[in-house]
């Protein structure tokens, strides 16, 4: 199912997002921000706050680099359900002693 859905109400936009064959509509509330109707999250605002800073970009690049390093070594592969854990919590420390492979649910549950 793809396409553009519109409605007569002024709060709807002719935009749809397809995810697992279900369509979710982005709505604008009080002319302030865009929120996803299914989750209620404002993804554009989340990106601006958290993911677009220089520090976040460098941390993400370092995490990707660590993953690629372990893929070359054969310790992880795409779709294996594993994450690369940084033992000291610093994503920029990609030394072999600091990297550990663990199941993604365990790694993401760590605090």
Would you give the distance in Å from CA 104 to the centre of its chain?
14
Domain identity same for 58 and 90: yes
Q: How confident is the model at residue 98 (pLDDT cuts 50, 70, 90)?
A: very high
Domain identity same for 57 and 105: yes
Q: What is the DSSP string of 27-82?
A: EEETTTEEEETTT---HHHHIIIIISSHHHHHHHHHHHHHHHHHHHHTS--TTSSE
Most confident listed range (19-33, 35-49, 51-65):
51-65
Domain identity same for 76 and 33: no
In what helix (H) or strand (E) does residue 102 lie, and over which residues does it extend? strand 99-103
Q: How confident is the model at residue 44 (pLDDT cuts 50, 70, 90)?
A: confident
Residue-wise pLDDT for 68-95, tens only, equals: 999 999 999 999 999 999 999 999 999 9
Q: How confident is the model at residue 34 (pLDDT cuts 50, 70, 90)?
A: low
Q: Indicate the SS3 state at residue 9.
A: coil
pTM over 0.75: no
Domain identity same for 62 and 93: yes
Can you tell me the distance from the alpha carbon of 103 to that of 83, in angstroms, rounded to the nearest whole number? 6
């Amino acid at each position: 199912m793809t396409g553009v859905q519109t409605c007569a109400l002024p709060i709807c936009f002719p935009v749809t997002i397809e995810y697992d064959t279900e369509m979710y509509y982005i709505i604008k509330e009080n002319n302030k921000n865009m929120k996803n109707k299914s989750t209620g999250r404002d993804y554009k605002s989340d990106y601006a706050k958290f993911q677009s800073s220089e520090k976040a970009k460098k941390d993400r690049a370092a995490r990707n680099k660590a993953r690629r390093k372990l893929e070359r070594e054969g310790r992880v592969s795409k779709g294996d359900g594993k994450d690369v854990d940084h033992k000291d919590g610093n994503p920029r420390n990609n030394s072999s002693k600091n990297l550990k492979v663990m199941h993604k649910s365990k790694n993401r549950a760590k605090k």
